[in-house]
Each structure stands twice: as structure tokens, then as C-alpha cells.
Chain A
Amino acid sequence: GQQLNQSPQSMFIQEGEDVSMNCTSSSIFNTWLWYKQDPGEGPVLLIALYKAGELTSNGRLTAQFGITRKDSFLNISASIPSDVGIYFCAGLGQGAQKLVFGQGTRLTINP
């Protein structure tokens, strides 16, 4: 079945640093979604991407739908303590009926 490789698995950064994470697949996806999960809560949808090459921002977050349609990237600029959590990518393949999730990137910020 389709699989997503999300990296890095964890990140330890200083407050104010920029963050980059990505998801890759051997399959083509038509939709990419990025979620954030705060400790003790359910995931929240951050950004949805529907077109190859699309670049979408949500505040300090920017996500891109890769041109090859096999990858997606999430960047966070000038990180702050509330950015702590687990970030998940998810993709929907051609003709697929189920969203495939990456393993998650756990972000820790040192103040």
C-alpha cells in the first residue's frame, strides 16, 4: 500500500529558529494535508494543498505541494514555545479512498 516517510522524526531547536520538515512517497498524491497535535489533544488541520507546486501559508507556517507530487514540505518561521507538538503530514493518492499519514515529527523548543 501507499506509505509516507516523514522526517525528521524529532527536532530540538531554540526559540526563534526556523523549522523545516518533509514527507516523501514513492506514489503520487493528489492532496497533501498538514496537521499539528498539541500534547493531550487531537490533531488540528493546519494547511491543505490540492495542486502540484502550490505554496500556501498560514501565519508563520508555509507548506508546499512538491512538483513531482511525491513530496510535501512544511516550514515554520521564527518558532515560539506554542509551536511545540507533533506535526503530521497526510496524503490522498489518485483514486484512493483513505488518507495515509506520516509517522509524525515531534518538535521540542528550548526557550
Chain B
Amino acid sequence: DVKVTQSSRYLVKRTGEKVFLECVQDMDHENMFWYRQDPGLGLRLIYFSYDVKMKEKGDIPEGYSVSREKKERFSLILESASTNQTSMYLCASSPPGAIYQPQHFGDGTRLSIL
């Protein structure tokens, strides 16, 4: 079974802090994604990566950056956290044949910025 693991289920940070959200998948998938989930808005893509060191902006990349130094790990970085970044963050992965189709999600990190 594919497993996508997000390092924290809950995280509380302060405005202005640099925040790292980590995601690891164990199925050697090329594609990895970061989404944020807000009530009534569904899932919105922040960034995705189709290979090591490769990244593409999603629909709402402002205020975020990502890092993919190893195939299994995809990190989301909030450069200077703001209260409007309080949300549920979901990481996902998919194999090469499904480049734009996240197939396996982690359980999410609920991030609160105070």
C-alpha cells in the first residue's frame, strides 16, 4: 500500500515565522503535490513537482515555496507565515502515468498561524 506521511497532524506557529511542512512517500512516485483545503473552496493546488529539483506553481503559490531534494520527500515552506495561511495542508503523490492526478494523499497538517 502506498503511504504518504506528513510530519505533523497539528501545528501552531506565530505570524512572521518560517514554517516547514514535510511530506514523505514510500512508493517511488515521480509526482508530488501540495494542496490547501479550506471550507467551501475544495482543494487548491499550491505547488507540484514531477521530478527531483523540479517544481511548478499551482493556483495559489504566493507566500509559499517548495523543495524537492530527494524523490521521496517534498517540503512546503511558508517564508513568513501570515494568519491567512491558517488552513489544512494536504500532500499527495502519483505515478508517472498520472502526472496531474494526485492519487494518494497524506492525512493532512492542520496549521494555525497566530
Stretch of B12-20, B62-70, B72-80, B105-113 with 4 or more beta carbons under 8 angstroms from chain A: B105-113
Report whether A103 and B101 are in contact in the complex, using a CB–CB cutoff of 8 Å: no
Contacts A97-B56, A98-B58; is A42 near B100 (CB within 8 Å)? no
Partner pick for A42 among B40, B45, B107, CB 8 A cutoff: B107
Given contacts A1-B59, A101-B43, contact A42 B101 (CB under 8 A): no
Complex Cα spacing A4 to B59, Å: 14
Interface string of A40-74 (1 = CB under 8 A from B): 11111100100000000000000000000000000
Known: A42-B4, A44-B105. A96 touches B42 (CB 8 A): no
Of residues A1, A88, A104, which shows the largest number of chain B Cβ atoms within 10 Å of its Cβ?
A104
Give A102's nearest chain B residue, CB to CB. B42
Count B interface residues, CB 8 Å.
Answer: 22
Instruction: Name the one of B41, B100, B107 contacting A96, with C-beta atoms under 8 angstroms.
Output: B100
Task: Determine if A33 is an interface residue (Cβ-Cβ < 8 Å).
Answer: yes
Over the window 89-105 of chain B, the binary record of Cβ atoms lying under 8 Å from chain A Cβ atoms (1 yes, 0 no) is 01010000000111111
Are the C-beta atoms of A92 and B101 separated by less than 8 Å?
yes
Find B42's partner among A42, A44, A103 (CB 8 Å cutoff). A103
Given contacts A97-B100, A99-B102, contact A42 B41 (CB under 8 A): no
Closest residue to A44 on the B side, CB-wise? B105
Which residues of B from 31 to 69 have beta carbons under 8 Å from A? 40-45, 48, 56, 58-59
B44 engages A101 (CB within 8 Å): yes
Q: How many residues of A contact B (CB 8 A)?
A: 24
For A42, list chain B residues within 8 Å (CB).
4, 90, 92, 105-108
Interface set of A (CB-CB < 8 Å, partner B): 1, 4, 6, 9, 31, 33, 40-45, 48, 88, 90, 92, 96-99, 101-104
CB pairs A–B below 8 angstroms (18 shown) = A1-B59, A41-B108, A42-B4, A42-B90, A42-B92, A42-B107, A44-B105, A45-B104, A48-B101, A88-B42, A90-B43, A98-B45, A98-B48, A98-B59, A99-B101, A99-B102, A103-B40, A104-B42
Q: Which 5 A-B pairs have the closest CB atoms?
A: A42-B105, A101-B42, A101-B43, A103-B42, A42-B107
